[in-house]
């Protein structure tokens, strides 16, 4: 097997995505009259990965409001669309970040906001 400069065999192309910061915190996801408490797995400048709540039956493309609590003084409230679904996780892509939450989100991400990383869609 030959490994290319990206560290893969060339059979499955690597793709670039914004770097994901692993951080766990509480998240309330809500849509219309439905809400689910869950946990954040990781976060990036373009989206977030959440643990899939038991009983959740959402679909790709649905827009949800995510309320994320970081420590005692940071609450980030934004809208996101379901981009990926697995048995244990839901991947969201931000669809609307209120203006007053943009700087706190970028400050939380720190250097992660400007870094791209390789990943494989497996």
Task: Give the predicted TM-score (pTM) of the model.
Answer: 0.81
Angstrom CA distances, 12 to 6, 8, 62, 119, 122, stand at 11, 7, 29, 10, 9
d(CA 1, CA 103): 45
Share of the chain above pLDDT 70, in %: 86
What is the reported pLDDT for 121? Answer: 67
- How many residues belong to the chain? 122
pLDDT greater than 80 at residue 4: no
Domains of the chain (ranges plus CATH)?
Answer: 17-112 (2.40.10.220)
What is the reported pLDDT for 15? Answer: 87
User: For 48-81, how does the pLDDT look when each residue is reduced to its tens digit (9 = 90+)?
Assistant: 999 999 999 999 999 999 999 998 889 999 999 9
What is the reported pLDDT for 74? Answer: 92
Lowest model confidence (mean pLDDT) among 2-11, 29-38, 53-62: 2-11
pLDDT greater than 60 at residue 12: no
d(CA 113, CA 96): 17
């Amino acid at each position: 097997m030959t490994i290319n400069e990206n560290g893969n065999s060339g059979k499955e192309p690597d793709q670039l995505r914004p770097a994901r910061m692993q951080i766990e915190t509480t998240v309330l996801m809500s849509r219309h009259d439905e809400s689910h408490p869950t946990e954040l797995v990781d976060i990036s400048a373009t989206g977030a990965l959440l643990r899939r709540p038991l009983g959740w039956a959402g679909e790709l493309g649905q827009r949800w409001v995510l309320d994320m609590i970081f420590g005692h003084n940071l609450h980030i409230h934004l809208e996101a669309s379901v981009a990926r679904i697995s048995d244990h996780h839901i991947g969201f892509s931000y669809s609307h970040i209120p203006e007053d939450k943009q700087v706190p989100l970028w400050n939380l991400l720190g250097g992660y906001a400007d870094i791209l990383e390789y990943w494989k869609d497996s």
